[in-house]
Structure formats: C-alpha cells, structure tokens
Amino acid sequence: MLIDERKQQIAAILPPVMKTLPAVYAVGDEYQIMVPVNADCLMWLEVAGEVYPDAAQGTMRSHTDMHRMHVPMSVLDAAGEYTVVYRKIIDRKPYFAESEDPVRLTRSFVPLTGDMEQIRTYHIADAHSHIDPVVNAALFYGASPDLLIMNGDLPNHSGCLEYFDNIYIMAELITLGERPIVFARGNHDCRGFYAEEIGRYIPLDGDASFYTFKVGPIWGMVLDCGEDKPDDHAEYGHTVNFHYYRRLEDMFIKKVLAEKPYEGEGIDYRIVVVHCPIMEYRESPFDIEEELFESWTKMLNEMGIDLMFCGHNHELVFHPAGDPAHRVTCTFPTLVASLPIFREETDPDGPCEYFAGAAVQFSKTAEGKFEYQFTDSEGNVRGEGRELPV
C-alpha cells in the first residue's frame, strides 16, 4: 500500500531529532513551517539563500518540542524547495553555549499556481487520533494532494501532549512536507489539560486560530467555532469562554467583509474551512450562537464563497447552494465530509478502523468550478458530484 511505502521513505530520510517531516501551513501571505522535535535544538530554514529562524525577540529558541518558522509565500513558491537546519543543544550555558554540528534536511515544495488546469484537494476531519485509515483515504489520488485541508478533531482530545503528534504524522504521510496545508481547530481539540497549549502546536495568525489565506488562485478563510455547547455546560467544567472568542471572530469577519481581500487579483476560487457547520439546525444543547452564526453566514454570502468545508457531524453530505434544509439561507454549497468508524476489539460489533473524507478538484475548464468524490480508506468512492453553474 502507498502508506507503507511512504513510511519506509520517511524512515530513511528523517533526521533523529525530528519527530516528523515538516508541515507547511498557509496563513495570510506566509507559510508557517512547523517541525515537532524530541530534543532541545536550535532550528532555522534556508530558502533561496535567506535564513528564516525560529527565534524569540532575536534569541534562538531551543527549549521546545515544536519549532515554527515563518516564510513569505512568494519566496518559497519561487524557490520550490526549503532546507530545515538544526543544531542539537549540548549545554545552553549563559556563556559559551555548546551545540552539535548542523544537520540539514531539504524538501521540495510544490505550490499552487494560477495556471494549474486542476487543483486536487483532500479534506480530512474527525480522525480522533486514528492515523492509517485517514491517510489511506487521503491518498486517493495515488500521490499527495495539491492542497491538504485538516479540519479539526484530528487528535482525540488535548488531554495528552502526544496526541498533537498525530496531526504531524498524518500531515507528513499525506504531504511528505512538499504540499501546503490549511488547518482549522475542532471542538474536541478544546478539551483536556493541554487545550490551553494547543496554540504552540497549530498555525495561528498572531494569537488567533481564525484567519484568511491565499494559495495560488484559492483564497480562503478559516473559522473556529470552539466548542459545540454553551460555555456553562457541565461537560466543560468552567474551562471555556468561547462566547467572548466568537465575538472577536465576528469582528474579524466584519473586517474581512469591509476590506474585500477575496476580490484580489488572480483569485479564481473562494473557500471557507470550519469544523462545525454553522448554518444547520441544532437541537439543545447544541443550538448555540444562532443569531451570531446566522450573521456569519449572511456575511459569507456577500463574499461569493464557492465552497465551504465542514466536519464534526461524522457524515458525508453535499449541501447545494440554497439548500432548504439549512436554518439560514446559504448562497454557497457545503461539503460536510468526514465519516470515522473506529471500534475496539471489545466492541460488540467487532473492531473497525475505517475513514472516509472528500477529494475535491477545482478547475476553470470543467463544468462548474469543482467536482468532488467521497472516498474511503478501502479505496471506494462512496458518492460524487459537481457544482453546476447557477
């Protein structure tokens, strides 16, 4: 299987300090290249002769299990490759600190470009720390997708730091560190002792887990609904304050609507990535923020969105624009695309490791702007369709 070949390929090239190959996240007009490590080390990138360090106010960071380097998209897109360099720390003394010789790993990078006849994306969500079936589904094309969309609940929860590694294991097996990734947080990511630390392990715009991005001809917006029940629900034990966070997000969406970056030159497709489908009917206690989410949907309607990607519901459903099943009218279609079935050996129905997600191909030459297939970890296509011109 392709996943086994990739595991062997990665094992042959991965330097000993790096837990996984880098993940290349798209945020704003930059890539955040993030690398989990298993030992204290200094780290930087070299791209087209320039150095992009992981540093804090000029001081190189080493006492961390995650490194993050910021590179302008235009620079990496033009270079087509990047080199991760690290020095393992021997002793970071106040005077005459000691570190080992540099270790280098160079990866090719394939950006999205406006002249691509087809852009092949794959959407995953709700992996809940199960890696192999998710990766098997995401390798539907027989190669890395041009763009990987990671849409929340990839760890089972944030109660263990080790669960964050699963994000990066999936990313390396699907992209090999060579393709861009769009990442959104899910509601299960907000649970557990390390939920407050997740910002160190995921891409952010400043401190925010909501942001816009542009990769080639695709402009997009990542939204973060936080949890799926009221903040005072007993399940959370007073540990969340998402109503306040969503108000900040509301101001962000209004700012995007006012500034209209989605009307920029070279944009052919506009997408939204959000874990929870904000336009759906929900029964109590999941019927939160209805007025706010209705306002968000109406603002998205004004942006000319071509497709919204969602997870959360553990189902495979395509909602066309104007679907009357929605609580609020959407002038754009939505893919709710993640079907995980994970059972232990002790389950009465027997063990199971199964996942289905969505392959979406954007094209300026096909009928409509995109076509999609719901594909699973067993190589099956469980449904397909396309956007039809209105």
Q: Is 8 part of any domain?
A: no
Q: Residue 366 pLDDT > 90, yes or no?
A: no
Task: Answer yes or no: do 69 and 213 share one domain.
Answer: no
Q: Count CB-CB contacts under 10 A for residue 360.
A: 26
Residue 353 is inside which H or E element, if any?
strand 352-363
Q: How confident is the model at residue 390 (pLDDT cuts 50, 70, 90)?
A: low
Same structural domain, 139 and 101: no
Q: Is 16 helix (H, G, I), strand (E, B) or coil?
A: coil
Q: What token pair was written down for 3?
A: 């996943």
Co-location of 163 and 299 in the same domain? yes
> What backbone torsions phi and psi does residue 333 show, to the nearest 5 degrees?
-80, 160
- The residue among 79, 108, 137 that closes a domain is 108
Would you say 273 and 184 are in contact if contact means Cβ atoms under 8 Å apart?
Answer: yes
Above 70 in pLDDT, residue 218? yes
Residue of 19, 136, 6 lying closest to 84 (CA atoms): 19
The answer to whether residues 239 and 233 touch, using CB atoms and an 8 Å cutoff, is: no
Residues 260 and 343 in one domain: yes
Beta strands 352-363 and 334-343, pairing class: antiparallel
CA 151 to mean position of chain CA atoms: 5
In a domain, 320, yes or no: yes
Closest CA to 28 of 273, 203, 247: 203
**Runs of H (alpha helix) within the chain:** 2-13, 73-79, 132-138, 162-175, 242-259, 290-302
**Does the residue 315 lie in any domain?**
yes
125, pLDDT greater than 80: yes
Q: What is the pLDDT of residue 389?
A: 57
In-domain check, residue 126: yes
Q: Over range 143-167, report the average pLDDT.
A: 96
Give residue 147's pLDDT. 98
CA distance 163 to 131: 11
Average pLDDT of the residues in 223-247: 95
CA dist 332 and 318 (Å) reads 11
Domain around 30 = 15-108
User: What is the SS3 assignment for 255?
Assistant: helix
- Band of pLDDT at residue 388, cut at 50, 70 and 90: low
CATH number, residue 337: 3.60.21.10
Asked whether residue 240 is assigned to any structural domain, the reply reads: yes
Stretch 319-333: mean pLDDT: 93
- Nearest in space to 119 (alpha carbons), one of 109, 110, 130, 128: 110
d(CA 22, CA 85): 11
How many residues are listed for the chain in this entry?
390
Q: Are residues 289 and 352 in the same domain?
A: yes
Domain's final residue, options 48, 76, 108: 108
- 22 with 79, same domain: the answer is yes
Across 174-210, b (16+ Cβ under 10 Å) vs e yields bbbbbbbbbbbbbbbbbbbebbeebeebbbbbeeebb
User: Which residues are paired to 26 by β-bridges?
Assistant: 31
Q: How many CB atoms lie within 10 A of CB 26?
A: 26
Residues 209, 89: one domain?
A: no
Distances (CA, A) of 121 to 69, 139, 219, 358: 24, 11, 14, 8
Taking alpha carbons only, the member of 206, 226, 284 closest to residue 32 is 206
> What is the tens place of the pLDDT at every residue in 280-306?
888 999 889 999 999 999 999 999 999
Proportion of the chain above pLDDT 70, given as a percent: 99
71 pLDDT band, cuts 50/70/90, is: very high
d(CA 208, CA 34): 17
Domain check: are 21 and 45 in the same one?
yes
Q: Is residue 113 part of a domain?
A: no
- 272 and 221, same structural domain? yes
pLDDT more than 90, % of the chain: 93
Residue 96 sits in a domain whose CATH number is: 2.60.40.10
pTM (global) more than 0.75: yes
- If asked whether residues 78 and 191 sit together in one domain, one would say no
**171-180, 205-214, 332-341, 343-352, range with the lowest pLDDT:** 343-352
pLDDT at 349 over 90: no
Check whether residue 91 and residue 124 sit in a common domain.
no
Q: How confident is the model at residue 346 (pLDDT cuts 50, 70, 90)?
A: confident
Beta strand 307-310 with 334-343 is parallel
Rounded mean pLDDT of 190-219?
A: 97
Lookup: tokens for 236: 């959370």
Domain total of the chain: 2
130 and 35 in one domain? no
**Is 7 inside a domain boundary?**
no
Amino acid at 145: P
